[in-house]
Structure 1
């Protein structure tokens, strides 16, 4: 099968399109014919080798954590899916990722893709949708709670805001001043995340944008809680004013089902900024690095 392979850690010139054996599903696994995969910032970190000590890859490796396609084979014991089902899948960072024609995942890492969503839309929803919901759940948010979300127009921020609205909380999108109108249309309330902090007035914060993490923390009251998916700057939480929870997404099929249902109802939209071919994976990584407004998706 064809795959985009990382030959060595480094820049995008280390990618090559090559042929590798098509994987076969083991017990409890599904084989997916991948139609689209999305590029996440974490893929860039893996490519450059910054995680090599914690997540060593056997090179050449296929990256890519988010995919959509059709079930092409079933391992023993799998009953949730049938061959031909349209699905999305959350691939592990193990060098056998979604930037390939076929991929194998545990059946618990896949979910059925609603008929009214395209493969490109499905691929864009996976890790962003999971992470957005898991940030909210980590804080134990209740109906009526006022929650500041930095990076509110990013993929994870959008998913978190949608979920906050779904459960009856009051999200506030923290964005740059020039995007306030767009953010208000999404969340209902918005603020300039770069404006000086005068008075901390939030009990909860969700931090999804590293450059403004300190600004978000400064807006949370003493004793409040922040969940962060980005590094927290040293000194940003002076004297431990707030409780900070660091979160990395976990695979969770029921949550992924809920993400897809929300998207199917039109309540969650993760914009796709650009669709490229698998052979253009280098350009896709560069687009993510440049701060593309929306997901970069590879059509296989």
Structure 2
């Protein structure tokens, strides 16, 4: 089968389209014929080798964490799914990813794709939707709580804001001054996150933008909580005055079902900025590196 292969750690010139063996599902696994996959910023970090010490890849490797397609085969013991089902899948960062014609993953990492969502939409929702919801859930936010979100017009920020609205909380978008108007359209309330606050007024915050991770904490009152998917700058939380939950998304089929249901009902909208063929994976990663506003999706 064809796959986008990373030959060596480095630049986008290290990608090539090549042939790899067709994977076979073992017990508890499914084989997906992949119709679309999405590029995530973490893919760029993997490609450049910055995670090689922690996630060593056997090269050439297939990157890609999000996928949508149809089930082509079931491993022994899989129930609740059938060949031909339209699904999304959450792939591990192990070098056997979703930028290929077919992929194998545990049945517990798969959710059925609603009929009114395209494969491209499905692929754009997986890690973004999971991460956005999990940042909210880890804070124990309730209806009426006011929550500051940095990087609010990024994809995880958008997912978190729309989930906060869904549960009746009050999101406040933290963005640069030139993006305030767009952020208000999304969240209802927005502030310039780059300005040092006169006093901390938030008990909850979600940190998704590395450049303002330190100043975001300054907006949080003593005893408050921050859910962060980016590295917290050293010294930003002196005396541990706030509780910081550093997290990476975790695969969860129930949460994926909730994300897809919200998208199918129009409560979650993640914009797709570019759709490119799998053969143009280098251009797709370049678009993400350039800060394109929206998801970049590969059609297989």
Post-superposition offset of 1:194: 1.1
The TM-score with structure 2 as length reference comes to 0.99
Alignment-derived partner of residue 98 in structure 2: 98
Deviations 1:110-143 (A, max 9, x none): 1011111111111010000000000011111111
Alignment-derived partner of residue 241 in structure 2: 241
- Distance in 1 (alpha carbons) for counterparts of 2:12 and 2:83: 35
Please give the secondary structure, in 2, of the residue aligned with 1:62: coil
Post-superposition offset of 1:18: 0.2
Question: Is the counterpart of residue 110 in structure 1 residue 110 in structure 2?
Answer: yes
- Distance in 1 (alpha carbons) for counterparts of 2:33 and 2:3: 12
Post-superposition offset of 1:299: 0.6
Task: Structure 1: give runs of 5+ residues left out of the alignment.
Answer: none
The TM-score with structure 1 as length reference comes to 0.99
Kindly report which structure 2 residues correspond to 1:203-242, keeping only aligned pairs within 5 A, or say none: 203-242=203-242
Please give the secondary structure, in 1, of the residue aligned with 2:161: helix
Post-superposition offset of 1:238: 2.1
Post-superposition offset of 1:239: 2.1
Q: For the Cα contact (< 8 Å) 1:193–1:212, is it kept in 2?
A: yes
Alignment-derived partner of residue 61 in structure 2: 61
Task: Structure 2: give runs of 5+ residues left out of the alignment.
Answer: none
Alignment-derived partner of residue 35 in structure 1: 35
- Distance in 2 (alpha carbons) for counterparts of 1:199 and 1:277: 49
- Distance in 2 (alpha carbons) for counterparts of 1:162 and 1:30: 31
Q: For the Cα contact (< 8 Å) 2:196–2:218, is it kept in 1?
A: no
Deviations 1:172-199 (A, max 9, x none): 1111212212111111111111122111
Alignment-derived partner of residue 50 in structure 1: 50
Kindly report which structure 2 residues correspond to 1:255-274, keeping only aligned pairs within 5 A, or say none: 255-274=255-274
- Distance in 2 (alpha carbons) for counterparts of 1:72 and 1:289: 33
**Runs of 4+ deviating beyond 4 Å:** none
Please give the secondary structure, in 1, of the residue aligned with 2:223: strand
Q: For the Cα contact (< 8 Å) 2:25–2:75, is it kept in 1?
A: yes
Paired residues, what number? Answer: 300
Alignment-derived partner of residue 286 in structure 1: 286
Post-superposition offset of 1:203: 0.1
Q: For the Cα contact (< 8 Å) 1:80–1:107, is it kept in 2?
A: no
Post-superposition offset of 1:6: 0.6
Post-superposition offset of 1:216: 1.0
Alignment-derived partner of residue 199 in structure 1: 199
Please give the secondary structure, in 2, of the residue aligned with 1:23: coil
Alignment-derived partner of residue 188 in structure 1: 188
Kindly report which structure 2 residues correspond to 1:82-97, keeping only aligned pairs within 5 A, or say none: 82-97=82-97
- Distance in 1 (alpha carbons) for counterparts of 2:69 and 2:145: 38
Please give the secondary structure, in 2, of the residue aligned with 1:233: coil
Please give the secondary structure, in 2, of the residue aligned with 1:142: coil
